[in-house]
Amino acid sequence: MSFTIAQIAEAIGADAVGETHLHIVSVAEPASATADQLAMASNPKYAEALSKGSAQAAVLWQGADWQALGLRAAILPTRPRFAMAGLTAMMDPGQNFASGIHPSVIIDPSAVLGRDVSIGPFTVISARASIGDGSVIGPQCFVGADAVIGAQAQLREHVSIGARAQIGARFVAQPGIRIGGDGFSFVTPEPSAVEAVRETLGDQGDTIAQSYARIHSLGAVRIGDDVEIGANSTVDNGTIRDTIIGNGTKLDNLVHIGHNAIIGDDTLICGQVGVGGSSRIGNNVVLGGQTGIGDNLFVGDRAITGGASKVLSNVPAGRVVLGYPATKMDAQIEAYKSLRRLPRVLRDIAALQKAVFKSGPND
C-alpha cells in the first residue's frame, strides 16, 4: 500500500508542495523516518529532529520553510492535528483479520448477516441477532440473542455484545469490551444503613445488617451511530428502560457506564471514568480521566470535568469543574493555592501570638 504526496494531501484537504509524485508507504516520527515514509513534524519543535532521519517528505505547518529543512516535498494542512485523523485512517493497515466467515464460527440459523460480513475464529452469533453490511467481527467475540449491530461495524477480539443490544452504524469496539451486562442493583428487605446515611449524611440510625436481593436488568443498551468504545470498558443494561449512548460519542479504555444512564451525542469520556446509574450526561461533554459521576445526577451540554474530579451534584451546561467534590475549576484551583499557603499562614500566626504573649499587656 502506497500513496503519492498529492493523493494524501487531496484526501485530507491540505496543500501539497514540492515533488508531489513521491510515493509514501507509511508514516513515522521525524527522527526515525526513512525515505519512503512521511515524517510527522507538524510543529517546529518536532521538525528539529528531521535531520536525524532520512525523510524526503513531511507533514508540516502552514508557512513552514520545507526546503530549508532539506525536504523534497511537504504537506501543509491548516490544522495539522485534525489532519492526523484523515491521514491515520488512510494509512491504517487494519487488524489483518481474514475476510469471510471462519469455519469455527457458530451462527444460529435464525441470525441475519448482511452483505460482505467477516467473522473471525471461535465467535458466536446468537439467535435472531443481526449484523449489518460490511461489518468485521473479530475472533472470540459473542453477539447475544436479538442484538442488532449496524453496517460497517468493527469489533476487535474478545468483544461481547449482550442480548437485545441495539447498536448503530460504524460502531468501533476495542478488545475486551462488554456491552449489556446486568446493572449493579441490589436491595434489602428493610431500609439499609446506606439509605439512612443518604438522609442523615452520616448517622446510620438503628438500621441492622441485612442480606441483599438482586434486581434483575430487564432493559438493554442502545448505542447510536459512529460510537467508539475503548478496551475493557463496560456498559450495563438498564433496569426497566434502556441504557443509552448517543451518536458520535467516544469512550476510552476502562470506562464504566451504569444502568439506566443516558449519554448524549459527541461526548468524550476518558479512561477510568465511572458514570453512576440513572445519571444523564449531555451533548459535547468531556469527562476527564478518572472522573466519577454519582448516581441520579445531571451533567449539562458542553460541560468539562478535569481529571480525577468527583461529581456529587448536578453540573450546569458549559460549566468547567475540578476536584473532590467537583466545583468550578478556577475556584478549586484558588482554594488549592490557599491550602498550600496554610502552613505558612499558621506559622506566621503562631509567631505573632508568641510575640504578643512575650511583650505582655503593659508593654
Q: State yes or no: is 259 an active-site residue.
A: yes
Report d(CA 204, CA 260) in Å as an integer: 28
Rounded to 10 degrees, the C-alpha dihedral 5/10/12/15 comes to 70
Report d(CA 51, CA 68) in Å as an integer: 11
Catalytic residue chosen out of the listed positions 102, 158, 216, 259 = 259
Report d(CA 106, CA 155) in Å as an integer: 16
Q: How many CB atoms lie within 10 A of CB 111?
A: 19
Spatial CA neighbour of 221 closest among 263, 269, 192, 267? 263
**174 Cβ contact list (under 8 Å, min separation 6):** 156, 159, 228, 229, 230, 231, 233, 253
Report d(CA 24, CA 2) in Å as an integer: 5
Strands 250-251 and 228-229: parallel
Would you name the residues annotated as active-site residues? 259
